Amino acid sequence: MFTKNLVVAAPVQFGRAALVASGGHVSAVIVNSGNANCATGTAGHRACKAVCIDTARLLKTKPSQVFPSSTGIIGVPLPTEKISSHLSPLISRAEASVEKLRAFADAILTTDKLPKIASIPMQSGKAAITGVAKGSGMIHPQLATMLVYLLTDVAATPGELRSVLRKTCDNSFNVISVDGDTSTNDTVLLLASGESKISLRKIRTEFEAGLHSVCCSLAEQIIADGEGVQHLVRLEIKEARNRTEALQIARTIAHSLLVKTAWAGADPNWGRILAAIGRSGVALDPKKVSLVIGNQTVCRGSVACRFDEQRAHKELSQPESRVRVRLGRGNYSLEFLTTDLTSEYVRINADYST
């Protein structure tokens, strides 16, 4: 799965082409942090290709089976030599260990404060799914600024992996947002080694549940570690007609600067949420809309209710809080993870390139 941004970084373009050329087979993933290799023109494509060729030569595999990823600042030439000169010692130290997995998770971070790792056993420990992610800013549905690598020892075809990954992303990485910006480099990659000799077809239900659990954990870790984030908000959209309108309303609320800054101050200013719902583009009936903060109804039928403002403030002051919207239109429900917007977010992004 890749970014939906029409401005696409060289490694995403190269990676897409490599998956087609190799029939979905990947022998190695090479990731650099600090440079997105985006908006770098022909030179950026040559640089990406050169790194993959060098990696393939050392691993004695085909360049089309080396998958590249980059994350960092846009518009700066990729320092190919700096990467290629470190490949040999990097590969010589490679091993299958928890320590190396954690080192990889640390190495791919940018403005993240913490590495993101999740794992779940299957078949009584005979197989597993493990995920590593990075992401902190430019987090928005369709995928968010993230690099996510999901690894399993289950045996599966590329087609089987694509099918389960698409469904899982819709209910994990595509229902989160920090700031509403979509990156040029987003990638979610699911790789299966087959080492366990257990076929995905035989354990599909368990595999889908395990993959969902790992991806939801990583998505939540990304949101909690968002740039400048003080408060994670579980935004529940209830009684929508369908997923499309539930997402449309959730995203409008989650991207409202007035709503996000109110959450930064733990201010139960529910009118801002109601206004966002009204301009979402969904043809709803305001008389059926209700809002709940924590366990207090603050608005019913788009009319103010008496509620304990201090209790609502206390709820929103927690590291994690819950806001519920009832639309009175149908039976579809959706949980959307989002955050506040703080002065620290402004500081990080005002100084990012300088």
pLDDT tens digits along 199-244: 999 999 999 999 999 999 999 999 988 888 999 999 999 999 999 9
pLDDT (0 to 100) of residue 133: 95
Tell whether the model's pLDDT for residue 139 goes beyond 60.
no
Last residue of a domain, one of 192, 227, 262: 227
**Partners of 155 in the beta sheet?**
199
CATH number at residue 271: 3.10.20.340
Q: Do 164 and 249 sit in the same domain of this protein?
A: no
Percent of the chain with pLDDT over 70: 96
Nearest to 281 by CA among 249, 329, 257: 249
Q: Do 152 and 246 sit in the same domain of this protein?
A: no
Q: How far apart are CA 222 and CA 84, in angstroms?
A: 29
> H or E segment at 132?
strand 127-134
pLDDT (0 to 100) of residue 6: 85
Domain count, the chain: 3
Q: Are 161 and 201 in contact (CB under 8 A)?
A: no
Q: How far apart are CA 140 and CA 132, in angstroms?
A: 18
pLDDT (0 to 100) of residue 160: 96
Q: What sign does the dihedral 208-209-211-212 (CA atoms) show?
A: positive
Q: Do 216 and 239 sit in the same domain of this protein?
A: no
Q: How far apart are CA 22 and CA 61, in angstroms?
A: 11
> How many CB atoms are located within 10 Å of the residue 308 CB?
13
pLDDT (0 to 100) of residue 180: 65
CATH number at residue 3: 3.60.70.12
Q: How far apart are CA 47 and CA 41, in angstroms?
A: 10
Q: Do 83 and 187 sit in the same domain of this protein?
A: no
Q: Do 213 and 148 sit in the same domain of this protein?
A: yes
Q: Do 101 and 205 sit in the same domain of this protein?
A: yes
18: its two tokens: 């490599």
Per residue in 89-134, pLDDT (tens digit) is: 999 999 999 999 999 999 998 878 899 999 999 999 999 999 999 9
Backbone torsion region of residue 247, taken as left when φ is above 0, otherwise alpha when ψ lies between -120 and 50, otherwise beta: alpha
pTM recorded for the entire structure: 0.89
**Partners of 338 in the beta sheet?**
177, 233
pLDDT, mean of residues 320-336:
97
Percent of the chain with pLDDT over 90: 82
Q: Distance of CA 237 to CAs 218, 221, 289, Å?
A: 22, 21, 11
Q: Based on the residue annotation, tell me whether 339 is a catalytic residue of this protein.
A: no
Q: Do 257 and 291 sit in the same domain of this protein?
A: yes
CA count, 13 A, side-chain hemisphere, 346: 8
Per residue in 146-160, pLDDT (tens digit) is: 899 999 999 999 999
User: What value does the mean pLDDT of the chain take?
Assistant: 92
What letter does residue 199 receive in the DSSP assignment? B
Q: Do 12 and 86 sit in the same domain of this protein?
A: yes
Q: How confident is residue 143, by pLDDT bands cut at 50, 70 and 90?
A: very low
Range of the domain at 274: 232-350
Q: How far apart are CA 169 and CA 164, in angstroms?
A: 9
Q: Do 223 and 102 sit in the same domain of this protein?
A: yes
> How many CB atoms are located within 10 Å of the residue 217 CB?
18
Last residue of a domain, one of 199, 227, 255: 227
Q: How far apart are CA 318 and CA 176, in angstroms?
A: 19
The identity of residue 187, as a single letter, is T
pLDDT (0 to 100) of residue 112: 86
Last residue of a domain, one of 94, 110, 129: 94
Q: Are 313 and 266 in contact (CB under 8 A)?
A: yes
Burial pattern 146-174, b for ≥16 Cβ within 10 A else e, equals bbbbbbbbbbbebebbeebbeebbeebbb
Q: Do 285 and 337 sit in the same domain of this protein?
A: yes
Please identify which of the residues 145, 152, 168, 182 carries the catalytic annotation.
145
Q: Do 201 and 239 sit in the same domain of this protein?
A: no
